[in-house]
Amino acid sequence: MSNYYGGITGYGKAVPERVVTNEELASKIDTSDQWITERTGIKQRRVVGDHEQCSQLATDSARKAMERAGVSADEIDLIIVATSSPDFLTPPVSSMVQHNLGAKCGAFTMVVGCTGFVSALITADLYMKTGQYRNIIVVGVEVITRMVDWEDRNTCVLFGDGAASVVVSRKKEPCGVLSHMMGSDGSGAELLILPSGGTKVPPSHESLDSGQNYLKMNGREVFKFATKVMGQSIEKVLEDSGLSKDDIDLYIPHQANARIIEFAIKTADLPADRVYINVHKYGNTSAASIPIALCEAFDEGRVKMGDKMVFVAFGAGLTWAACTLQLPE
């Protein structure tokens, strides 16, 4: 490995205009603001309109991140888009983003459920350590509400749409990902699945009639899995980095459910005032949740350059990933 590092130098988010509150959902299906708030902490979510697409939200957020980093399209050497809800199964949405940005570089999409952004950031960091890349754009984006059955209260109240990007730039001073871990357990594939639309169950009248084109989730089992891996993953990356819990300025967990985050705070004994939560505003935006939270943490002054952070995510697969990282000075 050469002595290069990848530091986050820009960030930007793009979320749909439309806000859907718990009250609005409760006026349409058998749920209530009280149930959603008590069980998840969610108060509202953003939902795309017909004019908003995955590629466009990703592009808008990337443009903002580039502007903040002071990086032009010809200075980008790679684009990694983490999403499970691209415009099309093929072509990859990452190439659509590359074209929209006017970049002349490689691009690929990573499909790792809600773990996507952390996996993509770890990947970008490893590319950076080769010293061959000047700037890499990492995007987390989802238009997951188009995969949801709006009559299924088990899922539709949980999810929201959005995008956020970071620019990771080549640095000579130590920064970037300090330690990381990734996990996968495909035995839990059925716990969070979109049964139709891939090649195993291609769309058909039959699959549509039986609702196989909608996201299915075993909430209780995913909850159990999430609470198990969150604390363990945080402990592991802290240990590998040699940092203590108090060395970390901000923890950003995947924003799926405030109760899962509170559980992780308890089991891993984290300082609650340094754990970022914004699930009440956006619901679960899957691969976009951690970068959206990062953007808001920057804007609110909860993090600043030079700070040390922990990201931890879990989701479909089942998958999980975590990293410690340091922002460049």
**Interface ranges with ligand UT7 (CB under 6 A):** 31, 35-36, 39-40, 114, 153-154, 157, 192, 217, 219-220, 222-223, 226, 256-257, 284, 315
DSSP per residue over 66-83, as a string? HHHHT--GGG--EEEEE-
Least distance from ligand UT7 to the Cβ atom of residue 305, Å: 29
Q: How far is CA 95 from CA 90, 105, 109, 251, in A?
A: 10, 9, 8, 31
What the block records as the tokens of 238 is 């802290």
Q: Is 156 a catalytic residue?
A: no
Least distance from ligand UT7 to the Cβ atom of residue 176, Å: 25
Least distance from ligand UT7 to the Cβ atom of residue 174, Å: 32
Q: Which is nearer to ligand UT7, 155 or 169 (CB)?
A: 155
User: 308-315 and 319-326 as β-strands: parallel, antiparallel, unpaired?
Assistant: antiparallel
Q: Which is nearer to ligand UT7, 316 or 327 (CB)?
A: 316
Which DSSP state fits 115? G
Q: Is residue 323 within 8 Å of 173, Cβ to Cβ?
A: no
Catalytic residue, chosen from 114, 156, 175, 295, is: 114
Catalytic residue, chosen from 105, 254, 257, 323, is: 254
Q: Which is nearer to ligand UT7, 71 or 164 (CB)?
A: 164
Q: Is 295 a catalytic residue?
A: no
Distance CA 319, CA 329 (A): 32
Q: Is 254 a catalytic residue?
A: yes
Q: Which is nearer to ligand UT7, 114 or 178 (CB)?
A: 114
Catalytic residue, chosen from 22, 135, 213, 284, is: 284
Helices (DSSP H) in the chain: which residue ranges?
22-26, 33-40, 54-69, 93-101, 116-128, 153-156, 205-209, 219-241, 258-267, 279-282, 289-299
Catalytic residues: 114, 254, 284
